[in-house]
Amino acid sequence: MPTVSQIPFVEYLVLDDGPAHLVANECASCGARFFDRRNACARCFATEFDQVSIPTEGELRTFTIVAFAAPGVEVPFVAGVIDCGGTSVRSNIINTDPTPENIHTGMSVRLATYSIGVDADGVDAIGFGFEPAR
């Protein structure tokens, strides 16, 4: 069955207005950024937020190569923290061999999307990760 539409796997992945990108809720008082919905800022307790786009390129700050996971999760994979213009994004590093020779802190990465799966109605769930910026 052909794909009819795509939906982001998480609400903060934007697919519909140009290139895919992430958005965060930025505290209007102190500038702290959070993914997903917040009732109050964890830093200053303010309750007003603005939605801001996050840069699609960044630098890998830290990572681990995961060798053991829950049943059904393919290993090894790389889980990392990426600095995207001052915003920390937790994500997997994808589209590269998950070995110490291919992954290192300080490497440049860019946002990439992939299909998680298509349901019976042809709706494609889209996930994100970061891949080496070549």
Helices (H), 1-134: none
Closest alpha carbon to 108 in 82, 79, 77, 76: 82
Our count of domains for the chain comes to 1
> Is the whole-model pTM more than 0.85?
yes
Closest alpha carbon to 128 in 31, 1, 35: 35
Residue with tokens 């917040």: 38
Predicted local distance difference test score (pLDDT) of residue 2: 56
Question: Band of the pLDDT at 16, cuts 50, 70, 90?
Answer: confident
CA–CA gap between residue 5 and residue 37 (Å, rounded): 24
Instruction: Give percent helix, percent strand, percent coil of the chain, each to the nearest 5.
Output: 0, 50, 50
Question: Band of the pLDDT at 10, cuts 50, 70, 90?
Answer: very high
Q: What is the pLDDT of residues 25-73, one digit of tens each?
A: 999 999 999 999 899 999 999 999 999 999 999 999 999 999 999 999 9
Domain containing 92 — which CATH number? 2.40.50
- Which residue range forms the structural domain that includes residue 79? 5-132
